[in-house]
Amino acid sequence: NAGVMQNPRHLVRRRGQEARLRCSPMKGHSHVYWYRQLPEEGLKFMVYLQKENIIDESGMPKERFSAEFPKEGPSILRIQQVVRGDSAAYFCASSPWGFGEQFFGPGTRLTVL
């Protein structure tokens, strides 16, 4: 049973480009969470999605950031017109129900030049 998969593991973008981060939850999990982590800090919640629905996006910047979890395929976190401050590790977690333990993927490390 594969764990949470994220790709790419490392992503380099120049300022102004778009970044697309993908997350495939564990099999049977319909709840997905995205978190951002800066070096030497804890993870900060960004958005919570259930299949085809955004449940809570209170931690996601209003501009340039969007997330989706389509009926088929992985969840996507999209960052448009990236800036240097977007450089961070982005983690996806999934759970089979909307409470309790969340299982984390290995993360995508985004570097904006």
Let me know the angle formed at the C-alpha of 29 by 26 and 30, rounded to the nearest 5 degrees: 135
Instruction: Using the minimum distance from each CB to other proteins, give the nearer residue, 20 or 45.
Output: 45
Asked if 13 interacts with other proteins (CB under 8 A), we say no
Instruction: Using the minimum distance from each CB to other proteins, give the nearer residue, 74 or 105.
Output: 105
Name the one range near other proteins by CB under 8 A: 14-22, 36-44, 61-69, 78-86. 36-44
Count residues near other proteins (CB under 8 A).
Answer: 29
| Amino acid at position 109, single letter | R
Q: Which one among 11, 13, 25, 33 touches other proteins, defined by CB under 8 A? A: 33
CB of 9 to other proteins, least distance (A): 9
> Residue 71: which residues within 8 A CB-CB, separation 6 or more?
51, 52
33 three-state secondary structure: strand
Question: Distance of CA 90 to CAs 40, 52, 76, 110, Å?
Answer: 14, 21, 11, 7
Instruction: Using the minimum distance from each CB to other proteins, give the nearer residue, 16 or 98.
Output: 98
> Residue 41: which residues within 8 A CB-CB, separation 6 or more?
none
Q: Which residues bind other proteins (CB under 8 A)?
A: 4, 31, 33, 35, 40-45, 48, 50, 55-56, 58-59, 91, 93, 95, 98-107
